[in-house]
Amino acid sequence: MPTPLPQVAVDGWEELDRSTGRTSSRLVLRGPSDVAVDVELERCESGRLREAYPVSEHDVEVRVGELEPPVLAGLLRDLVPAVLSADRSCRRVVFAAPEGDLAVLSAVEEAGFRCVVDVDLPDGSVSLAVAEPGWVTAVDMDLDHVPT
């Protein structure tokens, strides 16, 4: 059974509306630039990305409506810490950008994501970008020592 998605509160964004299910949430947020934004959060293991890559049970996909790149970057910069704080076991926050959309990819990279793979979904090809907490990306630099 998929892991439930905890409630996420995004600092600096006013929540105008919320609808939640067991593994997904839809939020309407108003940000600093007074723009209302639709945000969908969904566990990757129960959503459209479940077969796109080797998902972890706590991975969360973020989907948003069309936004200007600076607004998208600002939203994602504020949203990622909120998701990671709400679910301390989350290994990846995933954003699927339309493949080849350099403006969107630049905005998500500006927000701290890194592009990892292009995949084909039933509704089109996308570039998956991930933001990961430090405990996932930390590397033990003592490469000559094998942990016991």
CATH number of the domain bearing residue 101: 3.40.630.30
Is residue 6 in some structural domain?
no
pLDDT, tens only, 68-82: 999 999 999 999 999
Is residue 60 in some structural domain?
yes
Dist CA 131 CA 111 (whole Å): 9
* pLDDT for res 22: 93
pLDDT, tens only, 16-41: 999 999 999 999 999 888 889 999 99
Is residue 72 in some structural domain?
yes
Q: What is the span of the domain harbouring residue 61? A: 14-133
Is residue 44 in some structural domain?
yes
pLDDT at residue 142 above 90? no
Is residue 9 in some structural domain?
no
Is residue 113 in some structural domain?
yes
Q: What is the pTM of this model?
A: 0.89
Number of structural domains (the chain) is: 1
